[in-house]
Structure 1
Amino acid sequence: MDSATMGDMVMAGFQKLGFIQFTGIEGVDYAPGRNVVRMAARPEHFNHNGDIHAALLFGLAETAAMGASISGIVDLLGDTFIVARDGRIEYLARAKGEAGPFSATAELSPETITQTRANIESRTEIELEVPVTIADVTGKPVARAAFTAVIRPRRK
């Protein structure tokens, strides 16, 4: 099975998750080293100021980051256990509902993917810091985030 087909299978499984269904997050661009996801605002997503709730922006960023962390290793997922260890976010501007949909972009370098693949193949744990930018529909950044993805060999 080629990596594009495996990526489609991963994305199909992703769409079944309850959090993804609640938020309405959808995949926009998924390729080795890159994951872009989007979320359109729904009434239940707003805070008391009429902006997207900060927790949803955090979740959008985490979704992009973790997707990017596996984007170059989809064919090796059976040998790995992946989890987010931590995350931080800086809110740069109001995420007004009418400025959506909001997109989160996470990218890793080809060198990082190569090193990650080598670590998986040698059964060595790796931690990746995955940067994310969240932007409104005009491309204006509303938040920047970073998450640490821990990738470990799956126990046999």
Structure 2
Amino acid sequence: MGSATMGDLVMAGFQKLGFIQYAGIEGVEFDAGRNVVSIAPRPEHLNHNGDLHAAVLFGLAETAAMGAAVSGIVDLMGATFIVARDGRIEYLARAKGAAGPFLATSEFPAGTVERLRADIAGRVAVELEVPVEIADGSGKPIAAATFTAVIRPRRA
């Protein structure tokens, strides 16, 4: 099975998750070490100022981060337990609802996926710092976030 086919299967599974459907998050790009997701604001996503609500931005960022965390290890998911330990976000500009859709991009430095795969093969628990950038429809930076993904061997 080629990587494009694996990516398609992962994206299809991603779209079935309850939070993803509830929030209206769409997968844009999924490749080893990189995940991009988007959201087109709906009225229920907006705050009293007409901006994308901070909680929606946080959820979008977390979705991008955890997708990136698993992007290079999809074939090893049965042997691992993955969860977000923490997350922090800095809101850089107003996320005006009319400026959407918003893109959240999470990407690792070169070599991260290979090290992660080696640690999983060695049954070593990993805490992986995962960066995310969110931009509006014009490419203007809206937020920057970092999450910690905990990846450890699944218990027997």
- Greater CA drift, 91-100 or 1-10: 1-10
Q: Which residue of 2 aligns with 1:35?
A: 35
Q: Which residue of 2 aligns with 1:108?
A: 108
Give the root-mean-square deviation of aligned CA atoms.
1.0
| Structure 1 pair 110–75 and aligned structure 2 pair: CA distance change class (3 A) | farther
Structure 1: tracts of 5 or more residues without a match: none
- Identical aligned pairs, as a percentage? 73
How many angstroms does 1:27 deviate by?
0.8
SS where residue 48 of structure 2 aligns? Answer: coil
Asked if residue 70 in structure 1 is aligned to residue 74 in structure 2, the reply is no
Structure 2: tracts of 5 or more residues without a match: none
Q: Which residue of 1 aligns with 2:81?
A: 81
How many angstroms does 1:8 deviate by?
2.1
Letter in 2 for 1:151: I
Q: Which residue of 1 aligns with 2:50?
A: 50
Q: Which residue of 1 aligns with 2:8?
A: 8
Give distance in 2, aligned partners of 1:115 and 1:155: 21
Q: Deviations over 1:108-127 (max 9, x none)?
A: 12311111000000000001
Q: Under a length normalisation based on structure 1, what TM-score does the superposition of the two structures give?
A: 0.96
How many angstroms does 1:74 deviate by?
1.0
How many aligned residue pairs are there?
156
SS where residue 47 of structure 1 aligns? Answer: coil
Q: Deviations over 1:15-34 (max 9, x none)?
A: 11121112111111111110
